Structures are given as C-alpha cells and as structure tokens.
C-alpha cells in the first residue's frame, strides 16, 4: 500500500539500496524539516531537489527520486508540508487523507516553501557528492513550487510535471532564466485545457521555457496510481527531462 515503512521494507527485501531520512535546518531558524536523501552517486553529480505532490513523501516519490539518482544525480526530496504537519503522507485511496492533502496545498505559504527549497539546495551544494549544479523537479503541487523556484532561486534547470497552480503566478514567468520544461496532460482533471492554454500563452514565448503536452490525465507519471498512470507519456516525459538534466552531469 501507501505506507512508507512497508514500501521501504518491501524494497529492502528486493535487494534495493535505500536512501535515508535527513533533517535540514530551515533558513528562518524556526526548526528543521525532514527530507528523503536518495543513495548518493559514486562520482560527484548535479543536485536535484525533488518536490512531492499533495500526498507528501510517499513510497512513489522515494522510488522516482531513486530512479533519478541512479543516473548519477544527488537527489533530495524535502517535506514541503512540515510547517503544517511534519511527516504528513497521504494514501490517495482514502478520501479524508486526499482531502487533507488538498487542504494543505491551499494552506502552504509559497514564500516559505521556496525558502525551504533554497535550504535544501544549500544542503545539496554542501555535499561532496554534488558537483555544484542544481535542478529542481516537481510533480503536481511540487510542480508549482518548481516553477516558483525557477523564477526566484536561479537553479541551473527546472522540470515541472503538471503543476496545478502555475496560473496564479504567471507574472513571475519572465524571471525564469534557466532552461525549464513543462510536462502537461491534455485532459488533466486539475488543469482544464482552457487553463493550460492560458498558461502556455503566457509562458511559451519566454526564453528557455519549453512545453510538452501529452495524451494523459493528471499525475500521469505516478506509477502507483494505476487509474491515472500512463506509461508512454511518462517514458517520453522522463526522456525529455533527462535530455535537459544530463547536460548538468
């Protein structure tokens, strides 16, 4: 199921090398937040801050973070909801848990979340396994935060998988100076096509920004959500992401 401990136990049994839980100090001295650090690369590689959906650091986020890490990246996935409820992880099949994640998405302070992402970037840059280059990659709510990070933190690259609230921050698009990819589904039940068109109209002409639209719903890259997962678009999206990210290796 979606229980992180069970997910980890199952993967250990399969001989899977697991990452570790770490704590990162918040820049505003209000405490420390948890994060999942994937197994580190043998050679110094680019850092990736991977930002979770409204469901928290689920077993799927750990798996996809490890998938990226296996290509030579130093990947950390911070707990974006820690100021509301540290360690919150939702099972999307349980309506109350999913609703809580949606509520948290509306309650997070975006400015604080971006500060926390900046602290996660500093954590990566301080590691000998990181070559100093940084990318931000995020899904759903994490996609919105990836977009804001690209606009405010000047990373080396950014990859947005179906960000759900990008339209609320379109005025920040011109501040993006790094290559940024948007992956979106053309029948995303969270981002209707008219809204996607509005976002594309506002951002697509900006230097460095590329849009890819797939025959897919929301969360199409989440292998744990069988009702939404779409193998072809996911493979294509990840390949395009790595075409960009691999330039940082």
140 is annotated as an active-site residue: yes
Using left for φ > 0, alpha for ψ between -120 and 50, and beta otherwise, residue 16 falls in beta
Is 74 one of the catalytic residues?
A: no
188 in active site: yes
CA 218 to chain centre: 14
Exactly one of 188, 217, 224, 238 is catalytic; name it: 188
Q: In what order do the strands lie in the sheet with 32-37?
A: 20-25, 32-37, 74-78, 45-51, 130-139, 157-161, 180-185, 209-214
Catalytic residue among 52, 79, 178, 218: 218
Find the catalytic residue in 74, 79, 130, 140. 140
The token pair that represents 128 in the structure block:
């000998």
Are residues 134 and 125 in contact, defined by beta-carbon separation less than 8 angstroms? yes
- The rounded distance, in Å, linking the Cα atoms of 12 and 56 is 21
Which sequence positions are flagged as catalytic?
140, 188, 218
């Amino acid at each position: 199921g979606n229980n992180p401990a069970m997910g980890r136990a199952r993967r250990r049994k399969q001989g899977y090398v697991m990452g570790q839980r770490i704590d990162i100090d918040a820049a505003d001295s209000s405490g420390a937040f948890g994060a999942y650090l994937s197994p580190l690369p043998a050679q110094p590689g680019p850092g990736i801050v991977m930002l979770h959906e409204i469901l928290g650091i689920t077993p799927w986020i750990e798996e996809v973070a490890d998938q990226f890490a296996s290509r030579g990246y130093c990947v950390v996935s911070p707990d974006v909801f820690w100021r509301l409820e540290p360690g919150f992880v939702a099972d999307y099949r349980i309506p109350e848990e999913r609703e809580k994640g949606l509520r948290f998405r509306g309650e997070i302070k975006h400015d604080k979340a971006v500060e926390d992402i900046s602290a996660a970037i500093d954590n990566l840059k301080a590691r000998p396994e990181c070559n100093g280059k940084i990318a931000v990659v995020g899904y759903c709510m994490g996609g919105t935060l990836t977009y804001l990070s690209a606009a405010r933190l000047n990373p080396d690259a950014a990859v947005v998988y179906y960000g759900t609230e990008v339209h609320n921050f379109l005025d920040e698009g011109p501040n993006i100076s790094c290559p940024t990819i948007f992956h979106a589904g053309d029948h995303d039940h969270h981002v209707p096509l008219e809204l996607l068109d509005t976002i594309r109209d506002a951002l697509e002409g900006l230097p460095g920004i590329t849009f890819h639209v797939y025959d897919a719903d929301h969360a199409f890259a989440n292998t744990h959500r069988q009702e939404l997962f779409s193998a072809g678009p996911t493979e294509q999206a990840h390949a395009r992401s790595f075409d960009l990210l691999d330039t940082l290796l």
